[in-house]
Amino acid sequence: MSTADVAIDRTAQGERARRLTEMVFRMRELGIVMALLLLIAVTAILEPRFIEFDSLKDLARNASIIAIIAAGQTMVILTRNIDLSVGSVLGLTAFFCGDLLSNHNTPIVVAIVLCVLMGAACGVVNGVLTTFGRVPALVVTLGTMYVFRGIAFVYTDGRQINAETLPDSFLNIGTGTVAGIPTIFLIAFVVVLIVGLYLANYRSGRELYAIGSNDAAAKLAGIRVDRRVVAAFVACGALAGLGGALYAARFGTVDATAGTGYELTVISAAVVGGVAITGGVGSVYGAAIGAVLLGCITSSLIVLRIDSFWQQAAVGALLIAAIAFDRLVGLRLDAALRQRSARRA
Amino acid sequence: MSKETETAVPRLALRNASKSFGAVHALRDASLELYGGHVRALLGENGAGKSTLVKTLAGVYRPDAGTVLVDGEPVSFHGPIDARDAGIAIIYQEPTLFPDLSVAENVFMGRQPLSAGKRIDKKDLHDKTAELFRQLGVAIEPERPVRGLSIADQQLVEIAKALSFEARVLIMDEPTAALSGTEVERLFRVTRTLREQGAAVMFISHRLEEIFAICDHVTVMRDGAVTYNGDLEGKTNDDLVRWMVGRDIDQLFPKVESEIGKPVLRVERLTREGVFFDVSFEVKAGEIVALAGLVGAGRSEVARTIFGIDRADGGHAEINGRRLPNHKPTAAMRAGIGFVPEDRRQQGLVMDLSIARNATMTRMRSLAPAGIIRAAREKALASEWATRLQLKYHRLDDHVGTLSGGNQQKVVLAKWLATQPRLLIIDEPTRGIDVGTKAEVHRLISELASRGLAVLMISSELPEVLGMADRVLVMHEGRLTGEFSREEADEERVMRAATGQTKEGLAA
């Protein structure tokens, strides 16, 4: 073989490898969009009312809060950490928001900002314990999940916030529409877009991917890993705080148990949406679509009058399928690469 | 030393550096200089102190004595970042990249070009990366993810990264170990380009022909000390090998004569793609066969595949004429193989369990009728072996982690000997064991062989290989490149085969 031939052969090989990997990278989000469309199509055929506008609006509202918190969770998971405390942060801030508006006549904007700050403060606790305490995030946030929930119980002291005591303009955020589109959905859309653009286009955003992809290499590249990880936890907490305020606006009725179990739904949304639990891979867009898919499953099962028991089973099956798919793709890639380098040697 | 370098100030130098880890002198009074526009080779056997020297230059270690000089000025690095800021780039054998990110992002991570509003200017990022690869004369797309790139391409990404922060010193730690012939050529072309651009390059390699192809100067190390430091011109392979291995074997190896019987292990054309190829050999009863070679030659992988930990892609192994099923360690155990792994702490022992539990782990079933371990039986068996192997311990209930390295190794041996194996595979039997206990482990292995056990020993220490083995097999880049009887084997022959200096090796 002449040198030129070798060169051509090599570029052809490179081309094939590139296509393969590109396909895999795209598939992560493509696969879930397909699953979503399939689910909507099947449900719509069985029950045409499912795709009526009101029904879709409801679907969008249900998925919005999960999508916002999943955006924050994605930032944390990208760094190969996890935040199990988001459900508790949501409960705490949801009651805080209702309390401010019902009993202290706080302006709505101020109340929401305070909720975000409270969530961020919870994120600081998680981040600092994880990085400077050198305790795995799973353990830290499992602990703070109970701690924050405990604080919520002490704070509410058995009280409950009711929709009647909340200002209508606030409730409107949760139930109203702007130009026909649910307000809460617009907020989620903007949040996901901002986080998505940040992760894709800013140094500190890319560094979150770098940390999750190869922690040691990130340190060698001069990235201040601890600071970035704390920042990711703070952002996640802040978005959970925003989620809390929106929860109050959407449901009106809030007690200390608000958002129980949300952490798992949020993590499921991210993982189903292609965010690798091992860090470094995934996007908030995927996580947001994951949130919509999970919401869609719930709604379609209700519409089709299937026992709600099946809903959890369906979510579980989907999670396992998503993880199995990731693993399968990884194995295939490894095998392909091993064979390829063997041929070259 | 050549004329033009005599007057120049070295870009980077190490002067009279020493570094010890406990009782081990990894570096003794070592000096070397790297000049702009020149390529220096760093040569030495495994454990000669090359990595310690490189890590000292990289700011990972601080020397106990001696200094690092940049442009003739003494400096003190507090970490790898300091060395990088001084313009020193290290390219490790295993590149440190972000597999999930694009090539361009890997090159410029943390230093991406920005446009208005601190956004990353992706076009500029990709253009700059493309320009770096153009300078290097290689075609790698900036946009593609690093995952899926060959090791050779990943190294080039590392080199591009070094160029991007204008490194003036480039140290490559065995860059060619995992590369094919054409890839090596391409790397050399890039290295020559860098040299022409005035960079100081240091190149660590075991392949002597490569060193002659690319290097101007050479530094040879042995036992932590520099044995030669100067021009490469006019030197021969023999000179280099002599400087590398010319140590006396005055350590005593208590080799016990043993009667060699019938073949116990037969390995037939065993292959694992990309790792080792077409490996065939035999080990007879009472025989110690050493598998020698450099780190990364594929020796441990052969052992792991025989024992069934890794899957073989071709060929098979037989014990006493009965073929072992592929990829089944339990079957290998039942057939009578014991396997003492290289990494004692991670793979050989369960560090948090007691000495007794570790020593009897392979016999758990017979100690636990009805599934409950009888503590008394466990202790009896463990203490029997502890006595036979002269284990030094306080109590059998103590964590195995409380023992010294040599005694830990005895526990691993006890564990396997309790199964009455016919073949014992031992990977690096004396790694991390102090000199006194080493001889004891050697005596033990030798005695076991004299009682008819077949032993396959993997070792990177030449004196151990030459002192212990009845027969020496040598591997180089996944292939067997030499076989010597105890009489034939000497340091130079083994080293030559290990570096591919045989007729088969040169053709590769």
Q: What is the DSSP string of B396-421?
A: TTSBGGGS-HHHHHHHHHHHHHTT--
ipTM of the complex: 0.80
Contact B80 A213 (CB under 8 A): no
Position B171, amino acid: I
Alpha helices, DSSP H, located in A104-136: 108-131
Residue ranges making up the domain that contains A238: 16-344
Chain B residues lying within 8 Å of A286, measured CB to CB:
none
Contact A222 B180 (CB under 8 A): no
Chain A residues lying within 8 Å of B96, measured CB to CB:
214, 216-217, 220
Best mutation target among A22, A213, A227, A334 (most B Cβ atoms within 10 Å) is A213
Q: How far is B477 from chain A (nearest CA, A)?
A: 10
Q: Give residue limits of the domains in chain B.
A: 3-245, 249-336+421-508, 349-420
Contact B112 A206 (CB under 8 A): yes
Residue B145, SS3 per DSSP = strand
Tokens coding B472: 């020496």
Q: Which of B101, B144, B149 sits opposite A210 (nearest CB)?
A: B101
Q: What is the DSSP string of A7-23?
A: HHHHHHHHHHHHHHHHH
Q: Which of A22, A281, A345 sits opposite B180 (nearest CB)?
A: A345
CATH 3.40.50.2000 applies to domain B3-245? no
| Residue B160, H or E segment | helix B151-164
Residue carrying the six token digits 């021009």: B231
With CA atoms as reference, the chain A residue closest to B185 would be A3
Position A123, amino acid: G
Q: How far is A336 from chain B (nearest CA, A)?
A: 9
Does A1 map to a domain? no
Predicted structure pTM score: 0.73
Contact B109 A220 (CB under 8 A): no
How far is it, in rounded angstroms, from Cα A91 to Cα A48?
Answer: 36
Chain B residues lying within 8 Å of A221, measured CB to CB:
109-110
Say which CATH number the domain at A85 has. Answer: 1.10.3470
**Residue ranges of chain A with pLDDT lower than 50?**
1-10, 341-345
| A332-A337-A338 Cα angle (round to 5) | 100
Contact B120 A201 (CB under 8 A): yes
Q: Which of A22, A207, A214 sits opposite B110 (nearest CB)?
A: A207
Nearest to A93 by CA among A123, A117, A63, A57: A117
Q: Which fold has domain B249-336+421-508?
A: Rossmann fold (3.40.50)
Best mutation target among B140, B184, B273, B477 (most A Cβ atoms within 10 Å) is B273
Chain A residues lying within 8 Å of B80, measured CB to CB:
220
Best mutation target among B100, B120, B182, B278 (most A Cβ atoms within 10 Å) is B100
Collect all residues with Cβ–Cβ distance below 8 Å to A148 and sequence separation of at least 6.
A85, A88, A89, A91, A92, A122
Chain A residues lying within 8 Å of B139, measured CB to CB:
11, 14
Contact B105 A210 (CB under 8 A): yes
Nearest to B419 by CA among B306, B335, B307, B328: B335
Contact B120 A203 (CB under 8 A): yes
Q: Which of A20, A207, A214 sits opposite B99 (nearest CB)?
A: A214
Number of independent structural domains in chain A: 1
Q: How many contacts does A have with B, using Cβ atoms within 8 A?
A: 94
pLDDT one digit per residue (tens) for chain B, 508 residues = 444 444 578 899 999 999 887 766 788 899 999 999 999 999 887 667 888 899 899 888 889 999 999 998 999 988 888 888 889 988 887 778 998 899 999 999 988 899 888 899 999 999 999 999 988 888 888 988 887 787 788 888 998 998 888 888 999 988 877 676 777 888 888 889 888 888 899 988 877 778 888 899 999 988 888 988 888 888 887 788 778 776 444 445 767 788 899 999 999 999 998 889 999 999 999 999 999 988 778 899 999 999 999 999 999 999 999 999 999 999 999 999 999 998 888 888 998 899 999 999 988 888 888 888 888 888 999 999 898 888 888 888 888 888 877 888 899 999 998 899 999 999 988 876 765 677 788 888 998 999 999 999 998 888 888 889 999 999 988 999 999 999 999 888 888 888 877 644 333 3
Does A2 map to a domain? no
Chain B residues lying within 8 Å of A213, measured CB to CB:
98-101
Contact B99 A203 (CB under 8 A): no
Q: Which of A201, A210, A338 sits opposite B274 (nearest CB)?
A: A338
How far is it, in rounded angstroms, from Cα A235 to Cα A242?
Answer: 10
Cα torsion for B193, B194, B198, B200, to the nearest 10°? -140
Contacts 24+ apart (CB under 8 A), A199-204: A199/A74, A199/A75, A199/A78, A199/A283, A199/A284, A200/A283, A201/B119, A201/B120, A201/B122, A202/B118, A202/B119, A202/B120, A203/B110, A203/B112, A203/B114, A203/B118, A203/B120, A204/A228, A204/A231
Q: How far is A341 from chain B (nearest CA, A)?
A: 6
pLDDT in tens, A75-92: 999 999 999 999 999 999
Chain A residues lying within 8 Å of B149, measured CB to CB:
17
Residue carrying the six token digits 């300078």: B135
Chain B residues lying within 8 Å of A80, measured CB to CB:
none
